[in-house]
C-alpha cells in the first residue's frame, strides 16, 4: 500500500446526487488507488495511486497545440497527426489540458484538503437530510487513504450526516479500525467465493476479504453486500450459492446489491492507452438477472439490482 498524507486526499471526483451508493441521495467521493485489478473494472482510471492523463482520440483535431505546450517533452504525434503520450515523461502538470481547445485531454486525480472536501460535501446537506442520504467514500479503494477518510467522515458525523464506505475489503484490518467509529454503513464486494478464481480475476486471492467481512459482522457494522455478475466469468449458480452461503452467516447484512456487468468502462481503457483485459463480453440478459434475483431472494435478504 502506498503511503498517503492523511491531511491530503487523492481523488478523481465527487459524484453528485447518486442514488446507487447507499440509502437516499448521496455524494460519492471516488478515491484513486486500488489493490485489485478486476478484469471487468469499469473505472481503470482509479486503479493507480497517482494522477494520470487521459486522451480521447475521437475529440482530437490534431492541432498540435498541446505538443508545443508540454514543458517535459512528453507529447509527440503519430503518422496520422494524433497525439502520442510518453507516460514515463509526463509530470501530470496539466499544461496540455489547459490549452487543448477540444477537451481531448483530461487529468484524473487531484489533491484535496480535508477542509476543501468537507466544504464541498456540505453544500448538498439539504439533499442528504430530506432524502435520508449522505456521503459515500468509494474508489478505487478508499481505505488506501483511511486517515484522510477518517478526518472527512468525522466532520460529517459532527454535522449529523450519514456516512458509507464502499470497499473491496482487500486491506489489513487496521485500516478498517481507523475509520469504523465514523462510518454508518459498509458496502462490501464479494466477487466470487472461489479463492483460485478470485486470484485469476482480480490479481489477489480473497482470504483477506472474507476474513474482514467476518470481522465487520462481529463488530456489528451494517453491511450491504455487492455481488458483481460477469457473464461467463462468475455467473454460475454454484458460485452464487457459495457466495450466498457465506453472506447468510454474516449477521449484520441488511441488503444484497446485484450488480450485472456492463461495458461502460471500455472506452476509458483506450483513453489510458491500455488494452481492455476481458475482451468482448455480453451483458447479462433480463432472464439471467431475474433468475439470479429469484435465487438470492430465496435466502430472505432484501435485494436491489444495479446498485
Ligand atoms: S500533463 Fe504536463 S507533462 Fe504531461 S503531457 Fe501534459 S503538459 Fe506534458
Ligand atoms: S491540443 Fe487537443 S485537439 Fe489539439 S492535438 Fe492536442 S489533444 Fe488534439
SS (H, E, C) the chain: CCCCCCCEEEEEEEEEEECCCCCCCEEEEEECCCCCCCCCCCCHHHCCCCCEEEECHHHCCCCCHHHHHCCCCCEEECCCCCEEECCCCCCCCCHHHHHCCCCCEEEECEEEEHHHHHHHHHCCHHHHHHHCCEEEEECCCHHHHHHHHHHHHHHHHHCCCEEEEEECCCCCHHHHHHHHHHCCEEEEECCCCCHHHHHHHHCCCCHHHHHHHHHHHHCCCCEEEEEEECCCCCCCHHHHHHHHHHHHCCCCEEEEEEEECCCCCHHHHHHCCCCCCCCCCCCCCHHHHHHHHHHHHCCCCCEEECC
Residues of the chain with pLDDT under 50: none
What's the CATH fold of domain 52-108? Alpha-Beta Plaits (3.30.70)
pTM of the predicted model over 0.75: yes
Q: Is 96 in the pocket of ligand 1 (CB under 6 A)?
A: yes
- Which atom of ligand 2 has the smallest separation from the CA of 103? 2
pLDDT at 267: 87
- Which atom of ligand 2 has the smallest separation from the CA of 96? 1
Sorted by where each begins, the domain ranges of the chain are: 8-49+110-305, 52-108
- Which atom of ligand 1 has the smallest separation from the CA of 92? 1
Of the candidates 61, 72, 118, which has an alpha carbon nearest to the alpha carbon of residue 96?
72
pLDDT at 205: 96
Ligand nearest to the CA of 67: 2
- Neighbouring residues of 294: CB distance < 8 A, sequence distance ≥ 6: none
**Ligand 1 center to 100 CA (angstroms):** 11
pLDDT at 286: 86
pLDDT at 247: 96
Q: Is 72 in the pocket of ligand 1 (CB under 6 A)?
A: yes
Compute the radius of gyration of the chain from its Cα atoms.
Answer: 20
pLDDT at 106: 96
CATH homologous superfamily of 8-49+110-305: Aldolase class I (3.20.20.70)
Amino acid at each position: 500500500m502506498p503511503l498517503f498524507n492523511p491531511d491530503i486526499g487523492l481523488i478523481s471526483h465527487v459524484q453528485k446526487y447518486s442514488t446507487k451508493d447507499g440509502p437516499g441521495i448521496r455524494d460519492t467521493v471516488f478515491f484513486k488507488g486500488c489493490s485489485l485489478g478486476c478484469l471487468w473494472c469499469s473505472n481503470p482510471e482509479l486503479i493507480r495511486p497517482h494522477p494520470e492523463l487521459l486522451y480521447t482520440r475521437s475529440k482530437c483535431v490534431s492541432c498540435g497545440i498541446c505538443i508545443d505546450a508540454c514543458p517535459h517533452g512528453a507529447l509527440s504525434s503519430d503518422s496520422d497527426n494524433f497525439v502520442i503520450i510518453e507516460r514515463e515523461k509526463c509530470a501530470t502538470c496539466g499544461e496540455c489540458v489547459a490549452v487543448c481547445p477540444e477537451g481531448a485531454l483530461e487529468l484524473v486525480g487531484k489533491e484535496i484538503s480535508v477542509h476543501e472536501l468537507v466544504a464541498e460535501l456540505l453544500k448538498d446537506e439539504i439533499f442528504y437530510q430530506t432524502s435520508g442520504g449522505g456521503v459515500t467514500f468509494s474508489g478505487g479503494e478508499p481505505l488506501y487513504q483511511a486517515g484522510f477518510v477518517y478526518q472527512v467522515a468525522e466532520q460529517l458525523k459532527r454535522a449529523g450526516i450519514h456516512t458509507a464506505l464502499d470497499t473491496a475489503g482487500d486491506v489489513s484490518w487496521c485500516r478498517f479500525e481507523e475509520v469504523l467509529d465514523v462510518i454508518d454503513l459498509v458496502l462490501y464486494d464479494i466477487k466470487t467465493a472461489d479463492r483460485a478464481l478470485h486470484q485469476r480475476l482480480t490479481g489477489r486471492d480473497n482470504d483477506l476479504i472474507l476474513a474482514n467481512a467476518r470481522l465487520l459482522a462481529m463488530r456489528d457494522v451494517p453491511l450491504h453486500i455487492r455481488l458483481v455478475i460477469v457473464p461467463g466469468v462468475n455467473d454460475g449458480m454454484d458460485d452464487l450459492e457459495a457466495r450466498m452461503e457465506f453472506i447468510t452467516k454474516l449477521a449484520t447484512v441488511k441488503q444484497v446489491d446485484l450488480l450485472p456487468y456492463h461495458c461502460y468502462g471500455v472506452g476509458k481503457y483506450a483513453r489510458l492507452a491500455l488494452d481492455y483485459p476481458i475482451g468482448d463480453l455480453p451483458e447479462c440478459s433480463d432472464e439471467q438477472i431475474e433468475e439470479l434475483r429469484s435465487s438470492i431472494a430465496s435466502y430472505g435478504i432484501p435485494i436491489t439490482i444495479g446498485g
